[in-house]
A and B are shown apart, each in its own frame.
Chain A
Amino acid sequence: MSKPHGGTLVNRMLTGKKKDRLLEEAEEMKSLQLNSELRKDAFNISTGVYSPLEGFMVQEDFDNVLEHSRLSSDIAWTLPIVIDIPEKDEYSVGEEVILKDENGESFGLMEVEDIYGFDKEEMAEKIYGTDDIEHPGVKKTMQMNDYLIGGEIYQLKENTTPFEKYHLKPMETRILFKEKGWRTIVGFQTRNVPHLGHEYVQKTALTFVDGIFINPIIGKKKKGDYLDEVILDAYDTLMDNYYLKDRAVMSILEAEMRYAGPKEAIFHAIMRKNFGCTHFIVGRDHAGVGDYYGPYAAQDIFDKFPDIGITPVFFKSFTYCEKCSGAVDGFICPHDDEHRENFSGTKMRKMFKEGKTPPARMMRPEVAKNVAEKEHKFVE
């Protein structure tokens, strides 16, 4: 199993008397309200998904990440994890601030270490490689408040999710993998209902390791995307029917998709390393959007991080070949394009919207049936 990124699994969940005292005093203390995406970041810091981060970034780390894709400690890290605030003087360095969620519930504590201004255009350009406002990450960056507040945090309450059954923290997956006797584990990131192309990639990787960790990203989605519960149910069906129980595990990851392409691929790999994965599958245009990144830029970037501590497993694009009667890529199939059909997620979504089901050469019938039977399938 991989060691946590930076060597130690971070645990900032506060327990005992200090937690009780802080929750009692919370209403009297200065507070900072976080939106649901930042709330997830806080939880991921506290539970070690973002190890070695122990809080939101101070300026030294923020600058290093933008400039060198590393924390100030030289540990590889590609995306800023920050909280933006509108006024610099509202909080002071050295004070303790209660973190509240969107409903005004206290859930955490920050020890304020730094409050600093930043250049939004520079941040967007360095993270997303473009200043095009049409890019969702650039757009979001340009809408941020003018200051960032950083410092170590503590979690005072467990996060709640409607998908509790699938919600494992890194400490839990590490113990689970150990109990299963897995030494090598490949992580698979997804935000889609599985088709046969996905299964081909997963099982090809699984041939070389002890277990697969299927880790769907749950959270804010675009209109027309599959609902989270549809994705989870579809995977459950696939795993029940086509995977060995002892070799596959699924658990969710509550995090925001940033569409930062290559830099996000590194970030995704680091998170899976913290869950205990030794390998991580990186496909074509991983975490990309539009045509901002080259099709394999998210694979090439791994060359710059010899010390990342998790092995990327690269896949090219794959198609169904009628002559081979299965999923193939250009390295294993000699047949012409006329015999091949793309695993098009867009096409399959369209079929479901029209009340049809994708054919068995594209999606397992059990999975297709499971999705088709859902009254609500997509984000509206």
Chain B
Amino acid sequence: MSSKKYTTVSIPKPLAKKIKKRMEGTGFNSISSYVTYVLRQVISSIEEEEKEKESFSEEDEEKVKERLRALGYLD
């Protein structure tokens, strides 16, 4: 089985020290896994705030509303 590809990111040593301290008792076993977790969380909340591009047209939307009305989901 192929393993996941990783890359190296440099962070200041004092920050690494802080992270190491913060990791104590959290269940994370390396600075890398902790930083990965935090970055995923941060990036996901940034993405969540970005406006969603509608993947359907106004015409699609009207057709869907018609079906929803016919099925009784909308008045």
The residues of A with any CB-CB pair to B shorter than 8 Å are: 3-4, 7-9, 11, 48, 59-60, 63-64, 66-68, 74, 119, 122, 165, 168, 171-172, 175-176, 179, 249, 306-309
Given contacts A165-B71, A175-B64, A175-B68, contact A309 B2 (CB under 8 A): no
Given contacts A172-B68, A176-B68, contact A309 B44 (CB under 8 A): yes
Q: Could you tell me if B56 and A11 are in contact, using CB atoms closer than 8 angstroms?
A: yes
Q: Could you tell me if B67 and A172 are in contact, using CB atoms closer than 8 angstroms?
A: yes
Given contacts A171-B55, A176-B73, A179-B65, contact A3 B1 (CB under 8 A): no
**Contact partner, B48, options A3, A171, A175, Cβ 8 Å:** A3
Given contacts A64-B4, A68-B4, A176-B73, contact A8 B55 (CB under 8 A): yes
**Contact partner, B73, options A66, A119, A249, Cβ 8 Å:** A249
Given contacts A66-B1, A175-B64, A249-B73, contact A307 B43 (CB under 8 A): yes
Q: A122-B1, A175-B56, A176-B68 are in contact. List 6 more A-B contacts (CB 8 A).
A: A7-B47, A63-B2, A168-B68, A172-B67, A306-B41, A308-B44
B interface, over-half SS: helix
Give the chain B neighbours of A309 by CB distance below 8 A.
44, 48
Q: CA of A207 to CA of B74 in the docked complex: distance in angstroms?
A: 22
Give the chain B neighbours of A249 by CB distance below 8 A.
73
User: Number of B residues contacting the other chain (C-beta, 8 Å)?
Assistant: 26
Nearest residue (CB) in A for B49 is A3
- B61 CB to closest chain A CB, in angstroms? 6
Q: CA of A172 to CA of B74 in the docked complex: distance in angstroms?
A: 11
Give the chain B neighbours of A4 by CB distance below 8 A.
52, 55
Within B44-75, the residues touching A (CB, 8 Å) are: 44, 47-48, 52-53, 55-56, 60-61, 64-65, 67-68, 71-74
Nearest residue (CB) in A for B70 is A165
Q: Could you tell me if B1 and A175 are in contact, using CB atoms closer than 8 angstroms?
A: no
Q: CA of A3 to CA of B65 in the docked complex: distance in angstroms?
A: 20
Q: CA of A109 to CA of B55 in the docked complex: distance in angstroms?
A: 22
Q: CA of A324 to CA of B9 in the docked complex: distance in angstroms?
A: 57
Given contacts A11-B56, A306-B41, contact A3 B47 (CB under 8 A): yes
Q: CA of A59 to CA of B44 in the docked complex: distance in angstroms?
A: 26
Q: CA of A293 to CA of B18 in the docked complex: distance in angstroms?
A: 36
